[in-house]
């Protein structure tokens, strides 16, 4: 379908003016919608976090309060007395009064439904607000007190109690005596009602968008709290199960902290932005669901769409009017420019311009000037092409001459390469001969290595023999020193024994002198006893005994003297023998030292021979290394010769290719001359 410029401008104005507005509006609405969703998601997540913390703190605080109460002396002592069943009625009433005084303030302050106490036999013995007998069915309906009696503080699940006529939860805490913490003596039980759970969820819900609801459900999708903004049935908790998509997703959290869905239908049929997270109600894991009315959250988006539509309509009308005016203004200069372009299409490049249009400074004047500039440039290009065509013809003739000269040079290069190839082949033969010589040298080095290995083995054996001889000399030297030391010790002992014998001889002489004096004294005593007559007989007997003792002492000293004389003779003989042994040991030490020096000389000679062998081995290794180097270099030389030969063949092939290329270039040069002639003919078709 052909459209005039006016219709095209109107269509362009509508496209340029209206389409961006539609696109920008869509993007803006989409972004705004997403931002609103993000804001709703953030606010619901924040509410969920705060609610989880509030619930967690609430239940932890109640558990802590219960533990504090169970440590109260009033509770412990009262339970101990009740468990004895020996309290009088007055004492029992006093205990109950003390219990009530302590626990009533907690019930009043925290709005507990009740606090009751059971004894060690799981019997209700006290209740703040009810008759203990009325609570017996409540205790029997669950296992929370039995679990507490095992020493574990625990929460019951939420359940309906017909006597209290409410949904309740019970926190059972074990109570221990002051003397033992192994077996509880009873339990303290705090009763929470449905309103306590409702208040935990309702706190702070006013910060969510209007129409929002929050509630908790258990694993069976039963409500644990009433919906906050519009409770649809106050008796629905713990009875009916919700059959909604959000409720069915509770068990699918699987460790995910939050699940957010933007198009969920809740229990009342409302399309909601739903946030789901898990919470812990006492010891029970449950789900917290927050529903935000999607229509209320996105109500501003509808108004934004209406405003965008009105703005788009207004801009479209303005664009159409401006397009009509612009089409009337642009039609004439565009027509003149098109006429001039048609002349260019007919190869008419004569200077026949509209000077009034050239004087305009608007876009159409610039466009027409551009067309004129194109014509002038084409005229210049055609003139240059004509000149270039003449030059191409001359260049093709010169190129033909150069190609003939190049062919002659290539033939000479080919001859030189053939000569290089022959030299490379001869060089490869020399390299093979050198390689064979290195193989012979390797065989000689192997034989030399075998001889050297034999010598090294002999030297090692000689070293071992010298080492063993030196070890024996060292052992002999040690033994000789030990013998010399022992002889010297014996000599010292004998010398000391001589000195001791002399001291014994002196003591014997002293004893002999004492014995002689004693004998004289005994003789004098006998004489004096004889003078005394009868009175001296007893003294005379004593004097005779002393004289006999003195004579025995003389005989003993004489015998000791003989023994000492014999010891003197033996000691003198030992001293002579030991002196001979010392002299022999000294001579033996001199011989050992001389032998040691000879072994040292032999060891030095072996070390010198070993060093020479090491030098020979190093020289052989160096020769072997040089042989390998020569062999490698010879191999490389052979490879280079082969590579050189191959390279000359490649160069020959390349020269052949270049020769063929020269022939092709010569053919192309002839064709280029022909094309230059055709180009010259084409240039003549333009009117200049």
In a domain, 373, yes or no: no
> Residues 151-200: pLDDT tens digits?
999 999 888 888 888 889 999 999 999 888 888 999 999 999 888 888 88
Rounded-to-integer distance, Cα 143 and Cα 539, Å: 118
Rounded-to-integer distance, Cα 480 and Cα 488, Å: 12
Contact 570, 433 (CB under 8 A): no
Lowest mean pLDDT among 47-61, 237-251, 380-394, 594-608: 237-251
Sequence-separated (6 or more) residues with CB below 8 Å from residue 178: 73, 76
Same domain, 280 and 397: no
Q: Please say if the pLDDT value at position 6 is more than 60.
A: no
Helical (H) or strand (E) element with 233: none
Same domain, 284 and 387: no
Same domain, 412 and 526: yes
In a domain, 21, yes or no: no
Q: Please say if the pLDDT value at position 364 is more than 60.
A: yes
Output 449 or 163, whichever has higher pLDDT: 163
* CB neighbours of residue 250 within 10 Å: 23
Rounded-to-integer distance, Cα 469 and Cα 504, Å: 51
Sequence-separated (6 or more) residues with CB below 8 Å from residue 407: 659, 662
What average pLDDT does the chain have? 76
In a domain, 232, yes or no: yes
Rounded-to-integer distance, Cα 452 and Cα 613, Å: 7
Same domain, 164 and 268: yes
**Mapping DSSP to helix (H, G, I), strand (E, B) and coil, where does residue 227 land?**
coil
Sequence-separated (6 or more) residues with CB below 8 Å from residue 33: 298, 301
pLDDT at 75: 94
Rounded-to-integer distance, Cα 378 and Cα 514, Å: 168
Structure tokens at 134: 């009325």
Q: Please say if the pLDDT value at position 61 is more than 80.
A: yes
Same domain, 455 and 565: yes
Q: Give the whole-number percent of the chain exceeding pLDDT 90.
A: 15
Structure tokens at 11: 């269509």
What average pLDDT does this structure show over 282-308? 73
Lowest mean pLDDT among 37-46, 261-270, 278-287, 559-568: 261-270
| Residue where one domain finishes, among candidates 234, 263, 297 | 297
Alpha helices in 280-362 (DSSP H): 294-297, 299-345, 355-359
What average pLDDT does this structure show over 126-143? 90
Q: Please say if the pLDDT value at position 286 is more than 80.
A: yes
pLDDT at 210: 74
Sequence-separated (6 or more) residues with CB below 8 Å from residue 426: none
| Residue where one domain finishes, among candidates 297, 328, 363 | 297
In a domain, 646, yes or no: yes
Output 210 or 644, whichever has higher pLDDT: 210
Same domain, 573 and 448: yes
In a domain, 26, yes or no: no
Rounded-to-integer distance, Cα 275 and Cα 207, Å: 15
Output 263 or 89, whichever has higher pLDDT: 89
Among 125-134, 213-222, 358-367, which range has the highest average pLDDT? 125-134
Residue identified by tokens 């919608």 is 33
Rounded-to-integer distance, Cα 506 and Cα 515, Å: 14
In a domain, 321, yes or no: no
What average pLDDT does this structure show over 619-638? 70
Alpha helices in 213-298 (DSSP H): 245-248, 294-297
Q: Please say if the pLDDT value at position 443 is more than 70.
A: yes
Torsion of CA 479, 485, 487, 493, to 10 degrees: -150
Neighbouring C-alpha atoms within 13 Å toward the C-beta of 611: 5
Kindly tell me the number of DSSP H helices and DSSP E strands found in the chain: 12, 10
Same domain, 411 and 530: yes
Q: Please say if the pLDDT value at position 313 is more than 80.
A: no
Give pTM, 2 decimals.
Answer: 0.43
Structure tokens at 376: 């002038």
For 355-393, what is the HEC assignment?
Answer: HHHHHCCCHHHHHHHHHHHHHHHHHHHHHHHHHHHHHHH
Q: Where residue 117 falls among pLDDT bands split at 50, 70, 90?
A: very high
pLDDT at 65: 93
**Mapping DSSP to helix (H, G, I), strand (E, B) and coil, where does residue 175 land?**
strand
**Domain, as residue range, for 43:** 34-297
Rounded-to-integer distance, Cα 485 and Cα 480, Å: 8
Rounded-to-integer distance, Cα 74 and Cα 337, Å: 111
CATH number of the domain that residue 608 is part of: 1.10.287
pLDDT at 596: 76
In a domain, 18, yes or no: no
| Residue where one domain finishes, among candidates 247, 266, 297 | 297
Among 66-70, 612-616, 658-662, which range has the highest average pLDDT? 66-70
CATH number of the domain that residue 214 is part of: 3.30.450.20
Contact 393, 677 (CB under 8 A): yes
pLDDT at 141: 84
Q: Please say if the pLDDT value at position 555 is more than 50.
A: yes
Rounded-to-integer distance, Cα 25 and Cα 626, Å: 87
Q: How many domains does the chain have?
A: 2
Rounded-to-integer distance, Cα 65 and Cα 56, Å: 14
What average pLDDT does this structure show over 580-585? 75
Could you please report the per-residue DSSP string of 116-149? EEEETTS-EEEESSS-GGGGHHHHHT-SHHHHHT
What average pLDDT does this structure show over 459-484? 76
In a domain, 241, yes or no: yes
Q: Please say if the pLDDT value at position 333 is more than 90.
A: no
Rounded-to-integer distance, Cα 423 and Cα 374, Å: 66
Same domain, 568 and 435: yes
pLDDT at 194: 81
Same domain, 633 and 506: yes
pLDDT at 14: 63
- Chain centre to alpha carbon of residue 84: 63
Q: Please say if the pLDDT value at position 108 is more than 80.
A: yes
pLDDT at 638: 65
Structure tokens at 335: 């027509």
Instruction: End-to-end CA distance of the chain: give it in Å, rounded.
Output: 38
| Nearest in space to 508 (alpha carbons), one of 451, 450, 568 | 568
Sequence-separated (6 or more) residues with CB below 8 Å from residue 484: 582, 585, 586, 589
**Mapping DSSP to helix (H, G, I), strand (E, B) and coil, where does residue 560 land?**
helix
Q: Where residue 232 falls among pLDDT bands split at 50, 70, 90?
A: very low
Q: Which residues pair with 127 in a beta bridge?
A: 116
């Amino acid at each position: 379908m052909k459209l005039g410029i006016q219709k095209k401008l109107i269509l362009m104005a509508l496209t340029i003016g209206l389409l961006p507005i539609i696109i920008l509006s869509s993007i803006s609405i989409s972004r705004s919608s997403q931002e609103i969703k993000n804001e709703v998601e953030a606010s619901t997540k924040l509410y969920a976090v705060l609610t989880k913390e509030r619930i967690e703190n609430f239940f932890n605080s109640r558990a802590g309060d219960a533990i504090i109460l169970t440590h109260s002396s009033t509770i412990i002592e009262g339970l101990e007395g009740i468990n004895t069943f020996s309290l009088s009625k007055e004492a029992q009433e006093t205990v109950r009064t003390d219990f009530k005084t302590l626990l009533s303030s907690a019930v009043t302050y925290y709005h507990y439904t009740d606090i009751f106490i059971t004894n060690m036999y799981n019997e209700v013995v006290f209740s703040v607000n009810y008759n203990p007998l009325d609570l017996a069915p409540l205790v029997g309906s669950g296992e929370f007190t039995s679990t507490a009696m095992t020493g574990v503080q625990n929460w019951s699940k939420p359940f309906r109690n017909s006597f209290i006529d409410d949904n309740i939860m019970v926190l059972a805490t074990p109570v221990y005596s002051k003397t033992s913490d192994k077996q509880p003596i009873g339990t303290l039980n705090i009763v929470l009602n449905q309103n306590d759970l409702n208040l935990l969820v309702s706190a702070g819900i006013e910060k969510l968008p209007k129409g929002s609801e929050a509630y908790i459900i258990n694993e069976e999708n039963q409500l644990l709290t009433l919906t906050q903004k519009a409770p649809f049935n106050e008796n629905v908790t713990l009875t009916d199960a919700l059959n909604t998509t959000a409720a069915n997703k509770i068990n699918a959290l699987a460790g995910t902290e939050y699940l957010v869905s933007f198009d969920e239908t809740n229990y009342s049929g409302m399309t909601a932005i739903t946030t789901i997270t898990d919470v812990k109600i006492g010891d029970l894991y449950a789900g917290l669901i927050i529903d935000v009315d999607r229509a209320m959250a996105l109500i501003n988006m509808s108004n934004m769409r209406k405003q965008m539509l009105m703005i788009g309509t207004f801009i479209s009308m303005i664009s159409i009017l401006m397009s009509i005016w612009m089409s009337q203004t642009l039609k004439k200069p565009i027509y003149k420019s098109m006429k001039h372009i048609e002349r260019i299409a007919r190869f008419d490049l004569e200077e026949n311009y509209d000077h009034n249009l050239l004087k305009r400074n608007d876009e159409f004047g610039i466009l027409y000037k551009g067309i004129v500039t194109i014509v002038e440039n084409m005229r210049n290009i055609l003139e240059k092409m004509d000149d270039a065509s003449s030059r191409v013809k001359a260049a093709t003739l010169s190129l033909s001459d150069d190609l003939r000269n190049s062919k002659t040079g290539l033939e000479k290069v080919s001859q030189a390469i053939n000569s290089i190839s022959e030299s490379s082949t001869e060089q490869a033969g020399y390299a093979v001969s050198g390689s064979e010589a290195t193989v012979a040298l390797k065989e000689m080095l192997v034989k030399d290595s075998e001889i050297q290995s034999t010598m090294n083995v002999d030297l090692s054996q000689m070293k071992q023999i010298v080492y063993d001889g030196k070890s024996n000399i060292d052992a002999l030297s040690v033994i000789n020193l030990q013998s010399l030391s022992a002889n010297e010790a014996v000599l010292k002992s004998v010398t000391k024994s001589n000195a001791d014998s002399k001291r014994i001889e002196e003591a014997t002489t002293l004893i002999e002198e004492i014995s002689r004096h004693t004998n004289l004294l005994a003789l004098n005593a006998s004489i004096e006893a004889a003078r005394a007559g009868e009175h001296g007989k007893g003294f005379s007997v004593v004097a005779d005994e002393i004289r006999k003792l003195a004579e025995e002492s003389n005989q003993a000293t004489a015998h000791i003297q003989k023994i000492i004389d014999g010891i003197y003779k033996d000691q003198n003989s030992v001293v002579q023998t030991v002196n001979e042994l010392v002299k022999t040991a000294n001579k033996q030490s001199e011989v050992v030292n001389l032998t040691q020096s000879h072994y040292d000389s032999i060891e030095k000679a072996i070390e010198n021979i070993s060093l020479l062998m090491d030098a020979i081995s190093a020289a052989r290794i160096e020769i072997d290394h040089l042989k390998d180097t020569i062999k490698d270099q010879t191999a490389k030389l052979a490879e280079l010769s082969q590579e050189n030969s191959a390279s000359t063949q490649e160069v020959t092939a390349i020269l052949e290719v270049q020769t063929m290329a020269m022939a092709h270039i010569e053919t192309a040069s002839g064709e280029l001359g022909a094309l230059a002639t055709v180009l010259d003919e084409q240039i003549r078709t333009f009117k200049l």
